[in-house]
Structure 1
Amino acid sequence: NRLKAIDLFIEKNPEYEKKFTLVLVVVPSRIGTKNYFLLKKQVDEMVGYINGKYGSIEWIPIWYLYRQLPLINLTALYNIADVALVTPLRDGMNLVAKEYLATKTEKKGVLILSEMAGAARELGEAIIVNPNDIEAIVEAIRRAFSLSDEEQIEMNRIMNRRLSRYTIEKWAKEFLESLIKAGDIQLEYSTKKMTKTIRNRIQKDYLSAQQRLLLLDYDGTLVAFADTPRKAKPDERLLNLLNKLTSDKKNQVVIISGRKKETLESWFNLSRLILVAEHGAWIKKAPNDWQTIEPLSNQWKEQIRPLMEHYVDWTPGSFLEEKDFSLVWHYRKADPNLADVRTKELENALLDLIANLNLGVLRGNKIIEIKNVSINKGRIASLLLKDYPADFILAVGDDYTDEDIFMVLPENAYTIKVGISSTYAHYSIQSPEDVRQFLFELTEVNQ
């Protein structure tokens, strides 16, 4: 893509002919493998094509060096290069970008860096590009050539200062701290884990209770996550389980989900099951129709939707889901490295855009959702507690939207988090399958 970008750059900017040379250093590796041979053949042909198309006795656009350069020569090349074009399609760190900056003793020079390189997270002042977007690389080269000396010096000063401060010792310290934190989370999980003793206590309290309120999340709690929302439809086994729970007159069962109300209604047709959609925006108490808990507006969508659609176009494998009062960007099927970059960018862009709106940005499991800030699962749980007084309260959920429920419930409520993470819940359970088994045991103890 770099070579295609150079070809397109010269074609679109003929005024730069004879004013620059690309020094392409290709270090031999994986010699003998078929794919490497084919890739090298493509590079050889592309270099020849560009040099033949634009080159002359006076100017060769690309100097092609297929060999390992000694460090002293490579350092000298970095030092004299006005622009470094570092655009890997995928890279864990990429030291070339940092080495280039380290050689800029006069601080002049422009780094163009792939957003897929790990170093891009530290070198935000560089010109960051999508390595798959040839037009973007062309624009980055044009911009690099147009930056003033003062702009180059300031950009490099900031990046070099950051690199000099973030030493290997500091990295090692942060790594060990993260490792210790992971151990603390594991310890917390083990202390909250649902043991047989805890299960027996819950079953005993369940059996003796006169009125029970069961608040259940759906995705990640009753069913495992799926690539697309449509694939998470409840199976017959789950429907039978919910039917058993709701047929007990002492139970009031509520599914509190982030899903659309139309989806929940099409999936669940149980007369005594309360459905809550869009994290609490909608509630349906059979046989009543859906109701909102307060007047809500969705006029803000026209302002927000174009930005989120842009990130759908920019992130292959992602898609936008529109609900009545929220917009959700799903990225479960996107490349994990690219998604990691895009989620931070989109979240920051959304926070800037909604500064004066009554909206909040919610980070869920492989989603970013924007919705009215007053709507959350904790608020609807509080209303349900008033409407359905109970001497046995159980809440089960898997992500931080469910933490709002755990926080508002009384201390004597049984709160259970699915998975390993920090939580306000009293106990933790491993998977949706374990949740189903636990709920099934409750129905059996009541026989």
Structure 2
Amino acid sequence: MKVLKRGLDLERFFASVRQADWRVLLLDYDGTLAPFQAERDKAFPYDGVPQLLNRLIEAGDTRVILISGRQISDLLPLLGLKRLPQIWGSHGWERLKPDGAYEAAQPSRRARQALTEAYAWAQAQGWQAWAERKPGSLALHLRGLAPHDMSEIRRRARQGWSALAAKAGLTLAEFDGGLELRAPGHDKGSAVRTVLAEIGPDAALAYLGDDLTDEDAFRAIKRHGLAVLVRRELRPTAADLWLKPPDELLEFLSRWPAAAGGER
């Protein structure tokens, strides 16, 4: 573990977890709880992660929330949890509550039309196997390709989608292993802000994520909780703490229930 924020004291943070009336652990999935896989339907969690999350959920003293770029329907078969926590999917465009209630926002008509046109263009390039349509975005998953091929496809996609993005107010965003065309309105940061508004000011919180898409969440949780970067190599980030998976991730997840269940 490496502290990135000057003045951060992890012992003091876990003491605040123990003393808090409310605890919330917000977690990205791919690259954070699970290693990346070229075959995305085989991206199962690191060994030990489901057991630790099951322990937290069963204890009931921590609200566990997953916030993923994946669609919720793609994420559910991978988790291996006895009870589902609250899940935000598609960068905040979808929400599944523990009671099974499902909510999905919808981008503007102009954005939807632009995403449809962008998907048709990707199909014309022969990229349909890599293109994924989501409620508020279109992603190109290029993991597993040779670096030169990945770079060339990214370049061509940016070139082909840039006019559509400008016309409809969409953004082109890199992520680890691909490129995504996104409608405005929701991201992981907006999901975190919604959670913060619902739980009130007196909770102990942490957000764990790995990718550039998690930076929105890191910025949203600042001044409210701990932002934790989980990846093998350090990169520029707004996070407060850096963990290398899987060992340091498992250590952090193990410390949380120990603190939450301690005497106050």
- 2:15 and 2:90 map into 1 onto residues whose CA distance is 33
Structure 2: how far apart are the matches of 1:280 and 1:217? 11
Q: Secondary structure at the match of 1:332?
A: coil
Does structure 1 residue 253 correspond to structure 2 residue 64? yes
Unpaired runs of 5+ residues, structure 1, are 1-188
Q: Deviations over 1:18-51 (max 9, x none)?
A: xxxxxxxxxxxxxxxxxxxxxxxxxxxxxxxxxx
Which of 101, 104, 122 in structure 2 is aligned with 1:308?
Answer: 122
1:354 aligns with 2:165: yes
Helix, strand or coil for the counterpart of 1:351? helix
Question: How far is 1:360 from its partner?
Answer: 2.0
What is the CA deviation profile of residues 199-232 of structure 1, one whole-angstrom value per residue up to 9, with x for unaligned ones? Answer: 4233222111110111111111111111121011
1:280 matched residue in structure 2: 92
Report the equivalent of 2:254: 440
| Contact residue 213 and residue 394 of structure 1 kept, 8 A | yes
Is 1:398 matched up with 2:210?
yes
* Aligned mates of 1:421, 1:193 — CA distance in 2: 14
Listed as ranges, the matches of 1:188-199 within 5 Å are: 192=4, 198-199=9-10
Q: Which residue, 219, 225, 234 being the options, matches 1:413?
A: 225
Match of 1:237 in 2: 48
Maintained 8 Å contact 2:94/2:104: yes
Q: Which has the higher helix share?
A: 1
**More strand per residue:** 2
The amino acid of 1:352's aligned partner reads A
Distance 1:295 1:370, change over 3 A: closer
| Paired position in structure 1 for 2:75 | 264
**Pairwise CA distance, 1:312:** 4.6
Tell me the equivalent position of 2:30: 219
Shift in CA distance, 410/319, structure 1 to aligned 2, threshold 3 Å: closer
- Partner of residue 244, structure 2: 430
Aligned-partner residue type, residue 342 of structure 1: I
Q: Take 2:106 and 2:117, find their aligned partners in 1: how far apart are those partners?
A: 22
- Paired positions, count: 255
1:7-156 paired onto structure 2 within 5 Å: none
Q: Secondary structure at the match of 1:417?
A: strand
State the SS of the aligned residue for 2:227: strand
The letter of the residue matching 2:25 is L
Change (3 A) 1:212 1:435: same
Q: Does the aligned pair in 1 maintain the 2:2–2:243 contact within 8 Å? A: no
Q: Deviations over 1:164-203 (max 9, x none)?
A: xxxxxxxxxxxxxxxxxxxxxxxxx965189xx9442332
Contact in 2 for aligned 1:260/1:278 (Cα 8 Å): yes
Distance 1:366 1:272, change over 3 A: closer
- Opposite residue 300 of structure 1, the aligned amino acid is A
Q: Which residue of 1 aligns with 2:140?
A: 329
Question: What does 1:195-210 correspond to in 2, within 5 Å?
Answer: 198-210=9-21
Aligned alpha-carbon RMSD (Å): 2.7
Q: Distance in 2 between matches of 1:368 and 1:241?
A: 32
| Equivalent AA in structure 2 for residue 392 of structure 1 | A
Q: Which stretch shows the higher mean deviation, 247-256 or 262-271?
A: 262-271
Quote how far apart the aligned CAs of 1:345 are.
2.5
**2:77 counterpart SS class:** helix
Give the % identical residues.
24
Asked which structure has the greater CA Rg, the reply is 1
Change in 2 beyond 3 A, CA 1:279/1:391: same
Q: Check conservation: 2:172, 2:179, Cα contact below 8 A.
A: yes
**How many Å apart are 1:280 and its aligned residue?**
0.3
* Structure 2 gap ranges (5+): none
Q: Name which structure has the greater RCO, CA cutoff 8 Å, separation 6+.
A: 2
Residue 272 of structure 1 and its aligned partner are, at CA, apart by 6.0
Question: C-alpha deviations, 1:66-122, integer Å up to 9, x for none?
Answer: xxxxxxxxxxxxxxxxxxxxxxxxxxxxxxxxxxxxxxxxxxxxxxxxxxxxxxxxx
Of 182, 197, 200, 1:386 maps to 197
Kept in 2, the 8 Å contact 1:296–1:325? The answer is: no
How does the TM-score come out when normalised to structure 1? 0.52
Partners of 2:188 and 2:216 within 8 A in 1 = yes
Q: CA deviation at 1:236?
A: 6.5
The 8 Å contact of residues 223 and 433 in structure 1, kept in 2 or not, is answered as no
1:245 partner amino acid: L
| TM-score normalised by the chain length of structure 2 | 0.85
**In structure 2, distance between residues paired with 1:302 and 1:413:** 38
